[in-house]
Each structure stands twice: as C-alpha cells, then as structure tokens.
Structure 1
C-alpha cells in the first residue's frame, strides 16, 4: 500500500526543485506526496526572489494535516525563523516519523543577519529532530565555518556535523570536489561511508539536491536502511540528470522521466 509522505518547502516555477520535484520523486518511488508551502520563488529578467508565506499560513496548512497518517516528512526551503517554530510544533505532534531535513540556506535576497538567524534556527531547532540531515557542500561549509575542498575534508566534515547534531548526516559533494567522481559522504553514529559515481556533464541539474533528499524520505517511509537509501537516491539522481528537461535558454530542470524506480539497490 502506498505511503503518505509530506514535503514542506518552497515552490519552484521551473518545477526542477522545491515541492514540485519532491512530489514527482515521491511518485517515482510509488508513494503519495502531500505538500505544505513555505515560499514562492520568482525569477524574472531583473530579479530573483523568494517570497516567504506568512507563518500563520504555514501553521494553517500544517493544521490541515494533523489527522493524516504520515509515513515520512521532508523539510526543504524555509524563509523565516517564525516558520521554523511552526514546523517544530507540528513535528512534536508526529513522533516516530522519519524526517529528512534538507537545509536550503543559499538565498540571494536575504541579508547576512537574516541568513544567520535562519541557519541558527535550522541548526538548533529542526536538524536535531531529523532522522537524516542532507546539506550540500556549501551548506555544510556554512554550518561548520570552514571550507571543504577534498575528500578527506568531506569525511571529517560529515563526522563533525553528525556529532554536533547527534543525528545521521549525508553531505552532498556533487560536482564541487576535484576529480572524476561525484562524492557523497554519510555518517551514522561512528560509521562513515562514502558513495562515488561519475560526474554528470549535463547542464540540466536544477532540483537534483531536492530530488536526492525526497528520494531518501520516500525510502525511509518504507523503513529502508539509511545507507541503502543513500545509494538508491544517488543512482536515482544520476539517472534523472541524464533525462533533464530544457525549460529556458541555457537552463534545465531535473527529471527522472516519470518511470518509477525499483526500491532495491542495484
């Protein structure tokens, strides 16, 4: 029977990231996706903006789902500290559910103080409640306040962040580290594992990070082991990058092709 999996995050008009790709990813994993919006992204010729929804609207959306039997929750873009408070209260009422926190923190329109406040709220209030936290390389650097430029630093950073938060952490190295492989690193308590795959040269990568964390949430709803889920999610994203869709000049979005994936690792 299909599980109900919730995504809490922003709306991407290009449908490569945000709740749009989360919902498609859940469906690819044969799960039924529900969504709560925190923000609406706009991208015009002269401006890129993230328009945060009022915390009261976030609260009302979450209250609409209070009686829903959720199997997993994925948390993405959060634009205001006040939204963090509403989400934390909702999670308190849903104990025992796998939670994936994807700490989206790179927001051009925010000043340094707002960015710092959101980062601190994510770090102190939501991340410790997670089953798994999935920062990319740049987000991990913001958390830890130091650069990550090679595989050994990636391993140490994952271990450090997992120890600080007290939960499992996978850092998405992606294409940012030198070498032919895209490297992700997972730490669960005292065990650290690296996952490698050939870097993709396709340009259509908008939403790949969202798809990765959404795949993890869908799999954790089935009680898949975290390390196995990371391997499957990595393969899912690699395949989706090959099938990405051009949606604007020199820009494209992640798409898996609409074909459900197997839940077993290859």
Structure 2
C-alpha cells in the first residue's frame, strides 16, 4: 500500500545556498506533508548572487542512489530537476525504467539558474527531449526553457498557446507552461492535459526574492501527485503554496533571495 505521507524521490542538483535545487525540493515536499528522498546529480557552489561552480556526480553513483531508495523505501512520485549532462540524463532514464517504471514523474527541465548560469550542457537538451520528456506525467517549463525545447521565441500569451502543440509532441502526458517571464502585471500559467486545458492567472509580485520558484513549484506538484491529488488540484495547491512563500520571503542574501518554504509550519 502506498505511504499516505506521499513519498517523493527527487532527482536533481544541490544548491549550497539553500534556495533552489535539492534543498528547496526537500523543504517544499516536507512542508506540504510529504516525505522527501533524493538522488543528487550535481553539486553547485551557489548563493543568491549566482552559481560559481558545478561538479557533476558520477553516473553510476546517481543510479545507485535511485536503486537503493526504490528497493527499500519506494516512491509515489518522482521529481526531476537539474541533470547537468546528457550522460546523467540517459543514466537516470535507465534507472527509472529499471526501478520505478510505473511511478508518476514531474519533469522540471532546468537549464539556467536565476542569475543566468547554465545548468544543462548544450548537447544535453536533445537527450532531455528524447529520453525523459516522453516518460513524464507532466513537464513544467518556463518560457525560456519552452523556447529552447521548441525553437520558438515566446513573449506573449499567444506565443504560449503556439508552443503547446510542439511541447505536447515531446510525449509528456501533460504540460504546465509557466508564464512568469511574460511582460506586464498579469501572468498566466497554462496546464494542458489530454482531457483539456486549465488557466491559472495571478498578478505579478514585484520582488527580488524568487530564487528557486521553479524547483519549489515542481516539487510541490510532485508532493500533491504523490498524495493522490488529481494533477489540476496538485498544480493549484502548489501555485498557492509558492505564492505565499514568495510573499513571506525572509529577505536573505544580496541577490535573488530564497523563498519562505516553511510558511505552512506552525512552531510548537
């Protein structure tokens, strides 16, 4: 029987600054009542000002982390974030096929850090598209990531809708196209499933404290899926969680600051 806490195995890179990556993923899943486990794909020397170094984890060790977690604890959902190289992407897909072939998968196609540093090697984009996207329950690109995946220039709501068919053609069961990079104060996220389309609209929050929003949102969605929520509800809850986390951000650092992941937690 599935663990009612919602077990999420997160396969992603580490952020030494604690705002994004594995650290944000663990916080988000935990603060939404799930149980977070990890397979770390890369280490970064990172803070709110940027990424100062990346060290990829050996592929065999990435596979070992997935194997031992799945053989002992199991998972109700997988969340994939930063994968760094084509080799790690192929390794992760094989490990999932071997040890988690039927587990739902939330794929966040992490390519660039908030400060602009690339987190995915250029030759790895095709591997991501052909190897992992077809296995995903939902893929969660922002507009720049969707532009890389489709070859389109995306800056308007009309551009977003034009990008949906090529994104769907990658093979994921659903696409959540995030419109945070749209101009103006009105923002749109678009969830497209085989059963239809859901629009999520919000006003822009004018703040520098948005580091890790993509990682956090994808992990919050994964927690909801792991807990048995329909995807539409999982996305709605995740978006509400992230919005409050931005609104109540602690104001740390001198660059792109982290969120308040723990706003759901009531101290004893």
Q: TM-score, normalised by structure 2?
A: 0.89
Which residue is equivalent to 2:220? 215
**Separation in 2, partners of 1:36, 1:160:** 30
SS of 1:254's equivalent in the other structure is coil
Query: Could you say if the C-alpha distance between residues 144 and 6 of structure 1 is closer, same or farther in structure 2, counting changes exceeding 3 Å?
Result: same
Cα contact 1:102–1:210 (8 A) shared by 2: yes
Which residue is equivalent to 1:202? 207
Which residue is equivalent to 1:165? 171
Cα contact 2:41–2:57 (8 A) shared by 1: yes
What does the per-residue CA deviation read over 1:212-259, in whole Å, with 9 as the maximum and x for residues that have no partner? 100110000122111121111111111110111233224410123341
Which residue is equivalent to 1:90? 95
Query: Aligned pair 1:140/2:143, yes or no?
Result: no
| Post-superposition offset of 1:48 | 2.1
- Matching residue within 155, 158, 161 for 1:152: 158
| Post-superposition offset of 1:37 | 0.6
- Matching residue within 5, 13, 17 for 1:2: 5
What does the per-residue CA deviation read over 1:106-134, in whole Å, with 9 as the maximum and x for residues that have no partner? 266669xx733211111101111010000
Provide the aligned C-alpha RMSD in A: 2.2
- Matching residue within 186, 191, 199 for 2:191: 186
Cα contact 1:134–1:169 (8 A) shared by 2: yes
**Separation in 2, partners of 1:17, 1:46:** 11
Which residue is equivalent to 1:32? 35
The count of corresponding residues between Structure 1 and Structure 2 is: 258
Q: Structure 1: 5+ residue runs without aligned partners?
A: 262-266
Q: TM-score, normalised by structure 1?
A: 0.89
Query: Aligned pair 1:225/2:230, yes or no?
Result: yes
Query: Could you say if the C-alpha distance between residues 82 and 241 of structure 1 is closer, same or farther in structure 2, counting changes exceeding 3 Å?
Result: same
Cα contact 1:182–1:198 (8 A) shared by 2: yes
**Separation in 2, partners of 1:187, 1:4:** 25
SS of 1:252's equivalent in the other structure is coil
| Post-superposition offset of 1:84 | 1.3
Cα contact 1:42–1:50 (8 A) shared by 2: yes
Cα contact 1:243–1:256 (8 A) shared by 2: no
Query: Could you say if the C-alpha distance between residues 43 and 33 of structure 1 is closer, same or farther in structure 2, counting changes exceeding 3 Å?
Result: closer
Which residue is equivalent to 1:16? 19
Cα contact 2:143–2:155 (8 A) shared by 1: no
Cα contact 2:29–2:223 (8 A) shared by 1: yes
What does the per-residue CA deviation read over 1:122-170, in whole Å, with 9 as the maximum and x for residues that have no partner? 1101111010000111000001111111112112212331133242010
